[in-house]
Amino acid sequence: MYKSIAVVGATGAVGTIILDLLAKRNFPFQKIKFIASKRSAGNKIIFKDKEYIVEELQPSAFDGVDLAIASTPDDVARDFIPEATKRGVLVIDESGYWRMDPDVPLVIPEVNGDAIKNVKKGIISSPNCSTTQLVVALKPLHDYGQVKRVVVSTYQAVSGAGLVGTRDLENGSRAELNGQSYNYECFPYPIAFNCIPQIGSFKDFGYTSEELKLLHETRKILGDNSINVCPTAVRVPVANCHSESILVETERKITVKLARELFAKMSGVIVIDEPAEKKYPLPNICTGRDEVFIGRIREDISSDNGLAFWCVSDNLRKGAATNAVQIAELVNK
């Protein structure tokens, strides 16, 4: 058992869920501290009926800590995580900064939990939220039929852009319905009653940074650089839960019946696939859940070994907080 743990970014949207999960799952520790930006330092947090004062994020905050779960922007992770590891802290990092470092394992416990054995820098990365649900869904198909190619379109909730993204949807929708104007804080275009086909900055070949994460992180987690991924990432006016339309081509044919069986056996997956009853995963029924939900499973009528399906997952939970806590539980065994 780790004696002293810390939650970095404890007052943020993901940090507050991490606190809730640590309490509900009875994560073992002797001491715990909560760390956040200077703006939040000094605030009070009630955790398991005890009051704590939030400490400012600075190198000395990691003194005496054994394990830290960190949810911070990339530049903060770049600057402060090395300060933690210098002090012997094992850091589970939610940011994107360390994910593609060859010496940092990128882990989804249900998919590649053994990768935690390869920690070299004192850092374990948790994947991007859209990658996590994609790879959890791909894992049983890859194990059985060898995934060759993936075409994935994401429909990503505003909560993925943080509290300011949620505020933009709420205030923008209210203004639109009342015939008023609203100055968006987060998005370059109105998100209310709209879709924005850009998440992140544009990079090589016209793909965005968010889209390229789906390619590179998928390959790293599954340990297979031969997998081809064609991604499109879209921000949609949904409060929470990312949805994905996924088309997979495999070396070995997978029927719809077999796919349902493979998904049902996969840890962390729930199948909702009753088209005759109009039952399939929806963001408003998957929010607040820790699983990856799959439905609309069907054969691809345009290719022999293609399989199409719909996938929904709570991006703040399995896409972020839950996965990080699951990693912590794994290393704590």
Amino acid making up residue 21: L
Gap between the Cα atoms of 285 and 296, Å rounded: 16
DSSP state of 321: I
Task: Give first-to-last CA distance, the chain, whole Å.
Answer: 8
Catalytically annotated residue among 129, 241, 286, 311: 129
Amino acid 10 reads A
Helix, coil or strand: residue 260? helix
Structural contact between residues 66 and 59, judged by C-beta atoms closer than 8 angstroms? no
Residue 79: in which H helix or E strand, if any? helix 74-86
Distance CA 47, CA 37 (A): 19
Question: What is the residue whose two structure tokens read 């319905």?
Answer: 177
Distance CA 142, CA 128 (A): 20
Rounded alpha-carbon distances, angstroms, from residue 308 to 153, 187, 193, 260, 290: 12, 30, 27, 12, 23
Report how far residue 304's alpha carbon sits from residue 262's, in angstroms, rounded to the nearest whole number.
19
Q: For residue 38, how far is the Cα from the chain centroid?
A: 25
- Scanning 223-255, the segments in alpha helix (DSSP H) are none
Give the three-state DSSP class for 293: strand
Q: How many residues does the chain have?
A: 333
Decide the pairing of beta strands 50-53 and 55-56: unpaired
From the list 142, 195, 241, 242, the catalytic residue is 242
Q: 142, 328 in Cβ contact below 8 A?
A: no
| C-alpha to C-alpha distance for 117 and 87, rounded to whole angstroms | 20
- For this structure, is 242 an active site residue? yes
Residue pointed to by tokens 């960190």: 70
Active site residue 311: no
Catalytic residues: 129, 242
